[in-house]
Structure 1
Amino acid sequence: MIEKIGLGGSCHWCTEAIFQSLVGVNRVEQGWIASVNENESFSEAVIVEYDLNKMSLKTLIEVHLNTHSCTSNHSMREKYRSAIYYFSKEQENKAITILNDLQKEFDNKIITKVLSFRSFEMNKEEQLNYYLKNPEKPFCKNIINPKLKKIMRLFSDTIEFKKTINS
């Protein structure tokens, strides 16, 4: 069964690369998401399409929380809103339960919001698949690679990766 979820919290180039690397993720759309229940502007995010037979919502949320500052209300939060954007009431309830269950793994309070998806604006074509097109650029080496290495270390026993990075 194929589902989709919106995720935001850091640069969409990073978030795109992280979720593109996971088996069970069929597609990652990178751009900006707005929510029905937020009066805030669009925020950098991705829409992840995944196969429930190969990837769970819980694992996606765990990866998401561990690859951005999910407990920090820093000055860039408007641009990088820490959020899970749901597409159904069932998905909302699951996301809230998962966040509550995962809170025990974090010393500080998780600030990630569970928000109803309203609309999405895709990034420009030249910005899509940024990591795959530019793996040697300093941003990819210095910002994205450490996040990919972290999820490979933290989740190596529960998920598989479509590709690996150079150590």
Structure 2
Amino acid sequence: MSKNIQIATIGGGCFWCTEAVFEEVKGVEKVVSGYSGGTVPGRPTYREICSGLTGHAEVVQVTFDADVISYQDILIIFMTTHNPTTLNQQGADRGTQYRSVIFYHNEEQKKTAKLVLNELAVYFEKPIVTEITKAQTFFEAEKEHQDFYKNNPDYGYCTFVIDPKLHKLRQLHSDKLK
């Protein structure tokens, strides 16, 4: 049986959080943490990204089977498991590298992203500031950033920041989980 494999590239602050969320979603084949959206030449490093000077955002690239989960559902899960109303910030993480962003890969994804943001806007007290931007080069993050939550569940950041996001995911989207 062939699959309808597609890619979503999204950033909702720290990529460890977003990666942990999508690793639990039915139809998701793979989640890779990385960087995109920067303006400096060459392959960025985590240290450079954290400086906020490269223009890159921490993102995940989600490979999914669109016959199991739609791009629209991917975006709804994304938008409801991070705060899309804070500019360049998620919790205590601050800087352009932590911005809320959807990198679309084609015009259909762009249209869907705009639709989802418009539909969800009424559920937030503040305006959504999530960028919708044409996909740019994706750079895979260093090995220690891949599967971070899975490999470090007792790490303080995981306990205090990621666990609540996973709880929210399980509460709001239980029908979409593996």
TM over 0.5: yes
TM-score by length of 1: 0.87
Give identity over the alignment, percent: 32
Secondary structure, counterpart of 2:81 in structure 1: coil
Q: Which residue does the alignment assign to 1:155? A: 173
Flag structure 2 segments of 5+ consecutive residues without an equivalent: 40-53
Q: For 1:20-59, list aligned pairs within 5 A.
A: 20-34=23-37, 41-59=55-73
Q: Per-residue displacement from partner, 1:71-95 (whole Å, max 9, x unpaired)?
A: 1125624011211111111111111
Residue 12 of structure 1, CA deviation: 0.5
**Moved beyond 3 Å, runs of 4+:** none
Q: For 1:9-158, list aligned pairs within 5 A.
A: 9-34=12-37, 41-74=55-88, 76-156=94-174, 158=175
Flag structure 1 segments of 5+ consecutive residues without an equivalent: 163-167
Number of corresponding residues: 157
**Contact kept? 1:32, 1:122, Cα under 8 Å:** yes
Give the Cα–Cα distance (whole angstroms) in 2 for the partners of residues 74 and 92 of structure 1. 21
Q: Which residue does the alignment assign to 1:165? A: none
Give the Cα–Cα distance (whole angstroms) in 2 for the partners of residues 105 and 35 of structure 1. 30
> Once superposed, what is the RMSD of the aligned Cα atoms?
1.7
